[in-house]
Chains A and B, each alone.
Chain A
Amino acid sequence: MLTLTCPYCGVHADETELAPGGEAHLKRFGPGSEDEAFEDYLFKRENPKGMHFERWRHAYGCGKWFLAARCTTTLEVFGTYPAQTTEPPQEIKDKISGKRPGWTWRLFS
């Protein structure tokens, strides 16, 4: 079972305590944007076979949203971090680089 550590309350929460929330670090496009950008934002979500960054909510705990770095081929979790960030913390990126050299995800690497 998938276990994530909530970065706010520190609980090692298993999956039944959490609600998945899809892709992390979304840049939102709305009225006035190009159709293509709006379509990308709404429908063309990242679907990598490998490293992925996602939103989770500690639904049956503190209730807060946080972000996680997870591999979709091994389900290995490389870390969790608060949602008030625009990119993953360097220590998580370094940890991923240690095991997945050359990884990229959108503009991050």
Chain B
Amino acid sequence: MPQPVGGFALKKRYSVFAIAREAARHHLGWERAWASPAPKAKYDAIIVGAGGHGLATAYYLGKNHGIRNVAILEKGWLGGGNTGRNTTIIRSNYLQDPSAAIYEKSRSLYEGLSQDLNYNVMFSPRGVMMLAQTQHEIRGYQRTAYANKLQGVDTEFISPQRVKELCPIMDIDGPRYPVLGALWQPRGGTARHDAVAWGYARACSDMGMDIIQQCEVTAIHQSQGKVTGVSTTKGEISCAKLGVVVAGHSSVLAGMAGFRLPIESLALQALVSEPIKPCMDVVVMANTVHGYMSQSDKGEMVIGGGTDGFNNYTQRGSFHHIEETVRALVETFPMISRLKMLRQWGGIVDMTGDRSPIISKTPVGNIFVNCGWGTGGFKAIPGSGWAMAELMAKGEPGPLAAEFTMDRFRAGKFIDESVAAGVAH
């Protein structure tokens, strides 16, 4: 694993020839994947938050808009927040048009991301199915499948028999909630979450951007209604534009800038089992009982569920939520009942009232926010960065971000995915 230690090294492309070359010389020639410079006094743009969304924003600022005098500030370590804490599911089967547009943009960018970044993000379009286990869910997912057809998103509603064919370890005749069908997105799947952050970081560093870790923003400065810079634990830094991409801490940063966001921060947990032989080659989400599961390339069963119910900044959740999730999944997948769980962790997710994100201008000039991805941000990383970069570069949102303003709650223009999904998603 490349370690982020100071000093530039010669940029080398990763390729089969590089592997052969290094194999012949005891792997002594691999360079650092990204540099860790000290902050400069001034940047054209500062991104707060070096998670997937922040790094993707910086990457597309450089790639699509030619803005490369950029710093990405991170109070912890790169990709150590929700980017490193999710269940890596990628899908775009949303009901509302603005959601489908940005998530489908994101999913399609994932398809070519390894080539684009020259970094293997291990995108695996293995297919995602969302189980319908009540009559209400059947109707809901059929509606979503029709909506997706109009939006150009490739999904279909499939029968219980087809579910069983695709995922033989599932008990479709469960006593409480038999499987009545599923919304199937064959192009959905998973990717390696750390690699997404590392790949973007390496590409940003190659463009001459500064990734500054362990650098917490402590104040945001403004003059005449426009941002002028930030105070950090590594000193004062000026900037012309500021992008706040900090997920669970969005309210804290908004407070520094003097405005409020319609966000509440909750803990969401996930867990993995001991590794077992391959037994499941799709992603299954069961929203009625509220659990989702896939198998990682290492063989671990990766399991997630719902958020805790109260505000929390600790990155720890309550045990009984894990118990509920696992109980539901054991009923759907009886063969996992004897599995031992290896690790469990929590992340702080930023929830909006309509469960859709905010990519928006703010009351302060040249400060932009990208937050509110809640429990489903990983799948959106490339599309979110793409839309946020366009907003920061032009000062006005492009078509992808136009509906996701922070003012939509006042106007009543919700992008209501909480009702569409029935659960947090």
Contact = CB atoms under 8 A, between A and B. Distances in A.
Interface of A: 1-2, 15-16, 19-20, 22, 35-36, 38-40, 42-45, 47-49, 52, 54, 70, 72-75
A63 B108 CA distance: 49
B310 A36 contact: no
Given A36-B410, A47-B265, 19 more contacts: A1-B318, A2-B310, A2-B318, A15-B318, A16-B320, A20-B309, A35-B410, A38-B410, A39-B262, A43-B353, A43-B409, A44-B260, A44-B261, A44-B262, A47-B261, A47-B263, A72-B313, A75-B314, A75-B316
Given A42-B409, A44-B261, A54 B313 contact: no
Contact of A54 (B251, B262, B310, B353): B310
Nearest to B265: A47
Nearest to B259: A44
B318 A39 contact: no
B308 to A, nearest CB: 8
B320 A1 contact: yes
Interface of B: 249, 251-252, 260-265, 309-314, 316, 318-320, 352-353, 409-410
A75 B353 CA distance: 24
Contacts of B320: 1, 15-16
Nearest to A45: B264
A49 B320 CA distance: 23
B318 A52 contact: no
A19 B264 CA distance: 17
B410 A72 contact: no
Contacts of B251: 47-49
B353 A72 contact: no
A35 B409 CA distance: 10
Contacts of A1: 318-320
Main SS at interface, chain B: mixed
A46 to B, nearest CB: 8
B410 A47 contact: no
19 contacts: A15-B318, A22-B264, A36-B410, A38-B410, A39-B409, A43-B352, A43-B353, A44-B409, A47-B264, A47-B265, A49-B252, A49-B265, A49-B313, A54-B311, A70-B310, A72-B311, A72-B312, A73-B314, A75-B312
A73 B313 CA distance: 5
Nearest to B354: A43
Contacts of A39: 262, 409-410
A19 B311 contact: no
Task: Tell me which of B249, B251, B311, B409 has the highest count of chain A C-beta atoms within 10 A of its own C-beta.
Answer: B311
A39 B309 CA distance: 22
Nearest to B263: A47
B106 to A, nearest CB: 25
Nearest to A15: B318
A39 to B, nearest CB: 4
Nearest to A52: B311
The 9 closest A-B CB pairs, nearest first, are A43-B262, A20-B309, A47-B251, A20-B310, A39-B410, A43-B409, A43-B353, A72-B313, A44-B260
A72 B242 CA distance: 27
Contacts of B263: 47
Contacts of B312: 72, 75
A74 B249 contact: no
Contacts of B318: 1-2, 15
A38 B310 CA distance: 23
A73 to B, nearest CB: 5
B290 to A, nearest CB: 16
B251 to A, nearest CB: 4
Contacts of A16: 320
A42 B410 CA distance: 9
Contacts of B309: 19-20
A19 B260 CA distance: 26
A92 B311 CA distance: 20
B311 A47 contact: yes
B120 to A, nearest CB: 36
B247 to A, nearest CB: 12
A70 B260 CA distance: 21
A18 B249 CA distance: 26
A22 B263 CA distance: 12
Contacts of A47: 251, 261, 263-265, 311
B77 to A, nearest CB: 19
A19 to B, nearest CB: 7
B201 to A, nearest CB: 26
B353 A42 contact: yes
Contact of B314 (A20, A48, A72): A72
Nearest to A74: B314
A73 B267 CA distance: 11
